[in-house]
């Protein structure tokens, strides 16, 4: 009898007996792929060797529920990676027994970063296992030689068998295990191709169970789709403890690592790296690096203070307003939400008397970053007014504030951190919402001049004139 086949959605894992154009579970189009139906488990079948059996022995023992107030809340020491920027994103370092999923575009530096972290831990005498399903051991060695990561404590295992990888982790018991990548692993009990929904789900579940029992820090490398999300079922992102995304604009040397999920720290924390000949180098002062090439005396430029995770970040917003030559105005935004830009344009047209409806508008965040938070609204309005009037904004001013539809400037959160960052980089003025100005903030600002504004017109007059 031929094996029965089903159709599985590659976005969410929903299974259907026939092909569907649109997934009824997640709404994605053209994501169903034909796979063999999972065979029933056979008692006594191959489920792994002695190392895996020892690692999962506790899972088969009977357990009793315990009152939550009686559970010991012992704090496990963090495992520092040797890279301060990565430790910041993780919340202080790896937590033993945690599972981290790292995604990003091809060539962005996922394998490079993890090999550098593996070298840092192995150099401290900790055992590290690097499981590679995409490269041979010789190829990994060549990359390690270029990065200077040839240390005795770093072991490599080239395999695409999920059971072999789990057995090696159970037998070797490393402090850190890297799986590069989860889409290349195949579970022998699942009759489908590597990278399919069932293979990714089963392989990740097996490795996660091993990591939790030992415990060991497990890092999974995930491919991304054309939409920029990690390929495979979204259930894997719910299973792991942290999800990190590598962002890299085209033709930029900077690499931005962002925490989209973190059970042990703040989410949306960022780290900035620069790709160099010998790997990724940390950018310890991203605000200064991003503002280093800011043009002085140029119209359409404004510095805003954003907050990413727990870190204040000064970025430059550039705007170019020009007459529309073909009658149909264009709106282009790079690194900004286009919907937020349209809102600010409408407020400027209605409340501030800047008639931009017949103009082309081009916006970007300098440096290739993508920033999206309400406190950018006022800086965006100042940059647009500066370009429209062809008059430079104050180069010594930082602009902070959320813009309401009535033209009012609303208060923002964590204004003290933003003001300290502006002070640290030598700015002289901060244009901010009047509701944020308090005696405590004035004490923090010191000699920094605080310019409170209530309306968007006041902010434009204070920054542009």
Which tokens sit at 307? 């907050």
What is the separation of C-alpha 428 from the centre of its chain, rounded to a whole number of angstroms?
Answer: 32
Q: Find out whether 224 is annotated in a ligand binding site.
A: no
The CA distance from 12 to 232, in Å, is 7
Q: Find out whether 107 is annotated in a ligand binding site.
A: yes
Give me the residue label for tokens 């010594």.
Answer: 396
What is the separation of C-alpha 260 from the centre of its chain, rounded to a whole number of angstroms?
Answer: 5
Which tokens sit at 321? 């307003």
Residue 46 DSSP class: -
Start-to-end Cα distance in the chain: 81
Q: Find out whether 105 is annotated in a ligand binding site.
A: yes
Sign (positive/negative) of CA torsion 425, 426, 427, 430?
A: positive
Helix (H, G, I), strand (E, B), or coil: what is residue 219? Answer: strand
Q: Find out whether 104 is annotated in a ligand binding site.
A: yes
Helix (H, G, I), strand (E, B), or coil: what is residue 339? Answer: helix
Write the DSSP assignment of 68-137 as a string of letters. GGGS--PPPPPB--S-HHHHHHHTSSBPTT-EEEEEE-TTSSHHHHHHHHHHHHHHTT--EEEEESSS-H
Q: Dihedrals φ, ψ of 402, to 5°?
A: -95, 140
Residue 125 near residue 254, CB atoms below 8 Å: no
Helix (H, G, I), strand (E, B), or coil: what is residue 407? Answer: coil
Give me the residue label for tokens 């994605």.
Answer: 28
Q: Find out whether 18 is annotated in a ligand binding site.
A: no
Continuous segment of H or E residues that includes residue 399? strand 397-399
Q: Find out whether 110 is annotated in a ligand binding site.
A: yes
Number of Cβ within a 10 Å radius of residue 47: 16
Give the burial class of 268: count Cβ atoms within 10 A of its Cβ; 0-12 exposed, 13-18 middle, 19 or more buried.
middle
HSE-up of residue 24 (Cα within 13 Å, Cβ side): 7
Which tokens sit at 382? 């100042």
Beta bridge pairs of residue 306: 313
The CA distance from 210 to 208, in Å, is 5
Binding-site positions: 104-111
Binding-site positions for ATP: 104-111
């Amino acid at each position: 009898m031929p094996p029965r086949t089903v159709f599985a959605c590659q976005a969410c894992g929903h299974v259907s007996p026939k092909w569907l154009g649109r997934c009824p579970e997640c709404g994605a189009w053209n994501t169903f792929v034909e796979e063999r139906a999972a065979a029933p488990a056979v008692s006594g079948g191959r489920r792994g060797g002695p190392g895996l059996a020892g690692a999962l022995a506790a899972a088969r023992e009977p357990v009793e529920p315990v009152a939550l107030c009686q559970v010991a809340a012992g704090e496990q020491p963090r495992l520092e990676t040797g890279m301060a920027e990565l430790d910041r994103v993780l919340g202080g370092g790896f937590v033993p027994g945690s599972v981290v999923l790292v995604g990003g575009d091809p060539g962005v530096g996922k394998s490079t970063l993890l090999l550098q972290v593996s070298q840092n831990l192995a150099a401290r005498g900790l055992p590290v296992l690097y499981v590679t399903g995409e490269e041979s051991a010789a190829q990994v060695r060549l990359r390690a030689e270029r990065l200077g990561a040839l240390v005795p404590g770093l072991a490599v295992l080239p395999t695409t068998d999920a059971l072999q990888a789990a057995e090696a982790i159970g037998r070797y018991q490393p402090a850190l295990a890297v799986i590069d990548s989860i889409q290349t692993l195949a579970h022998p009990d699942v009759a489908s191709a590597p990278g399919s929904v069932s293979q990714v789900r089963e392989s990740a579940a097996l490795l996660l169970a091993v990591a939790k029992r030992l415990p060991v820090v497990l890092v999974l490398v995930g491919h991304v789709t054309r939409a920029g999300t990690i390929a495979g079922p979204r259930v894997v992102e719910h299973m792991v403890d942290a999800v990190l995304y590598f962002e890299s604009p085209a033709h930029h040397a900077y690499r931005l690592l962002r925490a989209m999920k973190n059970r042990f720290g703040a989410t949306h924390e960022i780290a900035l790296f620069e790709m160099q000949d010998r790997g990724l180098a940390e950018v310890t002062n991203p605000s200064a690096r991003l503002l280093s090439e800011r043009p002085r005396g140029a119209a359409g430029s404004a510095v805003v203070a954003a907050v990413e995770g727990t870190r204040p970040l000064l970025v430059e917003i550039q705007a170019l307003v020009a007459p529309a030559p073909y009658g149909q105005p264009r709106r282009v935004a790079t690194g900004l939400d286009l919907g937020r830009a349209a809102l600010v344009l409408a407020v400027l047209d209605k409340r501030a008397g800047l008639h931009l409806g017949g103009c082309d508008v081009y916006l970007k965040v300098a440096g290739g970053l993508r920033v999206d938070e309400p406190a950018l609204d006022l800086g965006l309005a100042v940059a647009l007014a500066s370009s429209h009037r062809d008059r430079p904004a104050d180069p010594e001013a930082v602009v902070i504030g959320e813009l309401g539809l009535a033209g009012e400037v609303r208060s923002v959160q964590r204004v003290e951190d933003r003001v300290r960052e502006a002070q640290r980089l030598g700015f002289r003025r901060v244009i901010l919402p009047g509701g944020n100005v308090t005696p405590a903030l004035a004490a923090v600002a010191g000699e920094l001049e605080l310019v409170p504004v209530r309306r968007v017109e006041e902010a434009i007059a204070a920054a542009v004139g």
